Structure 1
Amino acid sequence: MTPRYSLSQIVLHWAVAVLIPIQYWTGRSIERTHHAVHMGLSPDPWDVIQHHVHNYAGIAIGALMVSRLSLRVIHRSALKHPAKSPADRLARAMHFAFYAAIIAQAAMGFVASYLWFGIAPVHVLGSRVILALLALHIAAAAWHTFFWRDETVDRMIFPRRTLS
């Protein structure tokens, strides 16, 4: 049986899963806020709130993903098992791409918000890459659940038991 994840890994996974849609729902507010300011207008107060939510949720996602990556390195049990099949290798590549894209996205968002707005177009492109990875991730979870009927999704829902 493939090892399960720890409770902390599961909580971090689902916290990021909740925060990422918030990023897509609030992302357009940034363009509207900056456009209004550049036109000499006052931005809509709701857009300003969404802009702040987007920034702080992005920072939280970055911190959570760095924590997830740290736990993954500490709990190397999944990495100790060699990838046996092309599907295993693809899954590992997808997870690496997910970690890299989300951490890079959080870093670019921080840079765009606080240091250099010129990186914003790359940040927008990164959001599309993450959306594509997310679609593949959900499709893979559905495939494991409905076609292969294996325990892959259960591993991210039910924590491993510790021996006392």
Structure 2
Amino acid sequence: MTHDSPRYATIQIALHWGIFLLFALNYIVSDDMGRALRTKLEGGDPDQFAALTHPPVGLAILALTLIRIAVRLRLGAPALPPGKPLLNKLAHLGHGALYLLLLAVPLSGMAAWGAGIREAGDVHELLVTLTVLVIVGHALAALYHQLVLKDGLMDRIRPARR
């Protein structure tokens, strides 16, 4: 669904950047969390910082992503630039993949940490890598629009200037 505004709603912009920052934070402590999980599964005492920060931030990412999807379904999104059907199809696929991954990553993390399923930890790591690749592709596509096509697409998701 699209809407008439050339920009996303303020709540959509806040959710976009908030989820990105939380994902970046969790990515920074992901190595420590991997060690903490291995230690926990072996019956040891896991690293407290990673164990106390990574899981709740992951839950926040899951909750905010669900809210973001609900808001997207309710409010829609600005129309994509006309005359670029391939780029628009790739944008839809990329956004769909990103939403799916932002749901799957926390759920696999919950299965690994909460249920102690070692294989879920392996799946979680793979999904995180895929998410990073999709985020990098998303950022490169945004820069392509900004620097090559110069179509102002990035203005849709930038916080409002005061």
CA shift at 1:55, angstroms? 0.6
CA shift at 1:32, angstroms? 2.0
Contact 2:13-2:158 at 8 Å conserved across structures: yes
Matching residue of 1:100: 100
* 1:130 is the counterpart of 2:131: yes
Contact 2:36-2:50 at 8 Å conserved across structures: no
CA shift at 1:35, angstroms? 3.9
Matching residue of 1:142: 143
Aligned length in residues: 156
Contact 1:145-1:153 at 8 Å conserved across structures: yes
Q: Kindly report which structure 2 residues correspond to 1:1-164, keeping only aligned pairs within 5 A, or say none.
A: 3-37=6-40, 42-43=45-46, 47-78=47-78, 85-117=85-117, 118-158=119-159
User: Which structure 2 residue ranges, 5 or more long, are not aligned?
Assistant: none
TM-score by length of 2: 0.84
Deviations 1:123-148 (A, max 9, x none): 11100100110110110111111111
**Percent of paired sites with the same residue:** 27
TM-score by length of 1: 0.83
Structure 1, 51-60 or 76-85: larger mean CA deviation: 76-85
Letter of the 2:120 partner, please give it.
Answer: I
Contact 1:112-1:119 at 8 Å conserved across structures: yes
4+ residue runs of structure 1 moved beyond 6 angstroms?
A: 79-83
Deviations 1:61-114 (A, max 9, x none): 000110110011001354799996111011011000000011111111122221
User: Which structure 1 residue ranges, 5 or more long, are not aligned?
Assistant: 160-164
Deviations 1:23-54 (A, max 9, x none): 111111123224445667654xxx31122211
Letter of the 1:21 partner, please give it.
Answer: A
Letter of the 1:109 partner, please give it.
Answer: G
Letter of the 1:145 partner, please give it.
Answer: Q
